[in-house]
Structure 1
Amino acid sequence: MVPLVLGFLSLCLPIFAVVGLGWAAVRRGMIAPAVTDAVGIFAFHFALPAMLLRLMAAQPLAQSFEPRFFAGYLAACLVVFFVLMAGAMLLARRRRGQGAAIGAAAAMGNVGYLGPPLLLPLIGERGAGPVAMAIMSEVAIVIALGSVLMAPMGERGVLVRVLRSLMFNPVLLSIGGGAVLGALGVAIPGPLDRFLGFLGAAAGPTALFALGGTLGRLSLDRRLALAASAATFGKLVAYPLLAWLFLGPLLGLEAFWVQAGVLLAAMPTATNAFVLAQRFHTGADEVSAVVLLSTVIAAVAFPATAWLLTGPAPGP
């Protein structure tokens, strides 16, 4: 058992080590925070879309898109969101906006930045489909839902502005474009495919380094750690368990889809949740603590989850 666990740790920890490198670079003042912001913009607007477009276009749509997976994963996501939101409002006496911020922190994983480098080595390039559907669930739907619930009562135009921004989201556009090409069976021309492959290869390192740089600007004291513990538990324990329940026993999907869904649900909280809370000036400190705490714990929890799901670690 110990060698298998160590195998998954050796596979996953180098990826989290790049996050740690970005964190250390910012904390020690080696680079300015604006540099990691620029690296993150490059990853989000260029490298990650190139990688997802290429991977999605290379697979038939029927292979990369499973409606029952999308429905089950989204159901788990929304249950976590509303249960944590209700708990924060009823038990911790938070306001609606703060409750929605905590719910979003528990339901919004870092599937864009951490999903491809962690998931694809474990289950292969077919994992691009589950990653794309998880991004659609946690980015498109949770951001829209969270924005409406975090906004002050009576504020108009919030949903319209959010939907407009999602329509031009480069990651969502690349997923849609790749899905269309895959459905039509249109192959990307050789030179363009090599360009997308070369650019997309930078997605993992740059996104992870930028994530670490963002974490380097966050702080975690005892009070915030206690406040973040429930949302962190919801993100790293309840969400994966619900994904397993919905995708496996309830929907009866094959092992590939169950494994992909649970692993994606086990990703730590995305920095987008903190950006969203900061934008609406509600619960930002608590959400920043969830982002930091869940990422630290996931460095060990994710390999353990992967080992429990998939058995022996894949070879190099």
Structure 2
Amino acid sequence: MLLLTIWPIFGLICLGFALARTGIPGTGFWPMAERINYVLLFPALLVVNLAGAPLGDPSILRLGGATLATITLASAVFALAAWPVRPAAARFGPALQGIVRFNTYLGLAIVASVLGDGALGAAAVLLAVAVPLVNVLSVMALSYDGHSRGIVALLRSIVTNPLIVGCAVGIAISLAGTGLPWGMDSFLGFLGQASLPLGLLCVGAALRPRALGREIRVLAGISVLRLLAMPLLAFGMALIFGLGADEAAILVIFAAIPTASTAYVLTQQMGGDGRLMAGIVTAQTLAALFTIPFVLGLLGIG
């Protein structure tokens, strides 16, 4: 039953892959589609869902704490494990991103499919904590060997991130209790509705199957940590923080999904190993078709 719920999501990813490989609607479309989704459509979705989220609910606040603990603990353990090897930032950065980052479009789509649209508000709270955290960790991991961009540049990249801005605006509106005025909720809602299907198509277009031929053992190891170990850690944190059933399911879902395709762009921009990052994104996205139903079914979610 769970597979029937989520297969259309992966169907959109496969459709995006097929369209990109056949040249439809053109090679220039996909970078522009990713850009408009990143700077406009997806932030609009975050604003709408966070503006209506019950941020005063203790269970919602516990979800944010559990999210922070899960990502921070996973990052710390992996960094300590890698310390004796002293990997270059160009490779450590992609590896860490492969473990702690997540494909937001896929996560929200699965949450909506499994738990219903009403759970998107709680999911947006998770994103308000996780998005800035994983971006900071990713930049630090790609520059930790001394080639730092500087604290000012790091802070600028954080505060100007469209997703972080969208989260901040939505949280401010929710705390003010004013709601979105003058029909803005409908306007932003229409924009947000386009975000998930377009984002999933872009995920498929970004897949690089040829990258799977390199470093199979590394890709397999990182994928196991991301797709199997992370959801188990998240489930443990849900128990420790006393999360309700829906909040626990949201935390586990976002821990069980593959890493973000945008991690490849960041890796390239910061001089990291783009081939390794492309391989991680592709391997995890393909493997997730099987691991997500397994993990969610094992933990009784869905």
- The TM-score normalised by the length of structure 1 is 0.86
Match of 1:50 in 2: 44
**Take 1:165 and 1:105, find their aligned partners in 2: how far apart are those partners?**
20
Change (3 A) 1:150 1:187: closer
Query: Equivalences for 1:1-316 in 2 at 5 Å?
Result: 7-63=1-57, 66-88=60-82, 90=84, 94-111=87-104, 113-151=105-143, 153-155=145-147, 157-189=149-181, 191-215=183-207, 217=208, 219-248=210-239, 250-310=240-300
Cα distance per residue 1:34-67 (max 9 Å; x no partner): 2111111121222112222112222332249733
Change (3 A) 1:128 1:175: farther
Structure 1 residue 18, shift from structure 2 partner: 0.8
Residue identity in the other structure for 1:12: I
**Take 2:62 and 2:214, find their aligned partners in 1: how far apart are those partners?**
40
**Take 2:120 and 2:59, find their aligned partners in 1: how far apart are those partners?**
9
**3-state SS, counterpart of residue 83 of structure 1:** helix
Aligned residues: 302
Residue identity in the other structure for 1:55: N
**Take 1:289 and 1:252, find their aligned partners in 2: how far apart are those partners?**
36
Cα distance per residue 1:3-42 (max 9 Å; x no partner): xxxx211211111111111111122333433211111112
Q: Does structure 1 conserve the Cα–Cα contact (< 8 Å) formed by 2:55 and 2:61?
A: no
**Take 1:243 and 1:143, find their aligned partners in 2: how far apart are those partners?**
19
Change (3 A) 1:64 1:271: farther
Q: Give the share of equivalent positions with the same residue, in percent.
A: 26
**Take 2:250 and 2:45, find their aligned partners in 1: how far apart are those partners?**
18
**3-state SS, counterpart of residue 187 of structure 1:** coil
**3-state SS, counterpart of residue 253 of structure 1:** coil
**Take 2:119 and 2:15, find their aligned partners in 1: how far apart are those partners?**
26
**Take 1:82 and 1:181, find their aligned partners in 2: how far apart are those partners?**
33
Residue identity in the other structure for 1:68: R
**Take 2:81 and 2:122, find their aligned partners in 1: how far apart are those partners?**
29
**3-state SS, counterpart of residue 25 of structure 1:** helix
Greater CA deviation, 203-212 or 162-171?
A: 162-171
Q: Does structure 2 conserve the Cα–Cα contact (< 8 Å) formed by 1:110 and 1:269?
A: yes
Structure 1 residue 232, shift from structure 2 partner: 0.5
Structure 1 residue 154, shift from structure 2 partner: 4.1
Structure 1 residue 77, shift from structure 2 partner: 1.4
Greater CA deviation, 151-160 or 185-194?
A: 151-160
**3-state SS, counterpart of residue 33 of structure 1:** coil
Structure 1 residue 118, shift from structure 2 partner: 1.3
**Take 2:35 and 2:58, find their aligned partners in 1: how far apart are those partners?**
27
**3-state SS, counterpart of residue 282 of structure 1:** coil
Match of 1:3 in 2: none
Change (3 A) 1:97 1:308: same
**Take 2:128 and 2:55, find their aligned partners in 1: how far apart are those partners?**
15
Greater CA deviation, 70-79 or 8-17?
A: 70-79
Change (3 A) 1:145 1:172: same
**3-state SS, counterpart of residue 117 of structure 1:** helix
Structure 1 residue 235, shift from structure 2 partner: 0.6
Change (3 A) 1:70 1:283: same
Structure 1 residue 130, shift from structure 2 partner: 4.0
Q: Which runs of no fewer than 5 residues in structure 1 stay unpaired? A: 1-6
Q: Does structure 2 conserve the Cα–Cα contact (< 8 Å) formed by 1:107 and 1:142?
A: yes
**3-state SS, counterpart of residue 220 of structure 1:** helix
Q: Which runs of no fewer than 5 residues in structure 2 stay unpaired? A: none
**3-state SS, counterpart of residue 87 of structure 2:** coil
**Take 2:141 and 2:298, find their aligned partners in 1: how far apart are those partners?**
36
Residue identity in the other structure for 1:151: S
Structure 1 residue 131, shift from structure 2 partner: 2.7
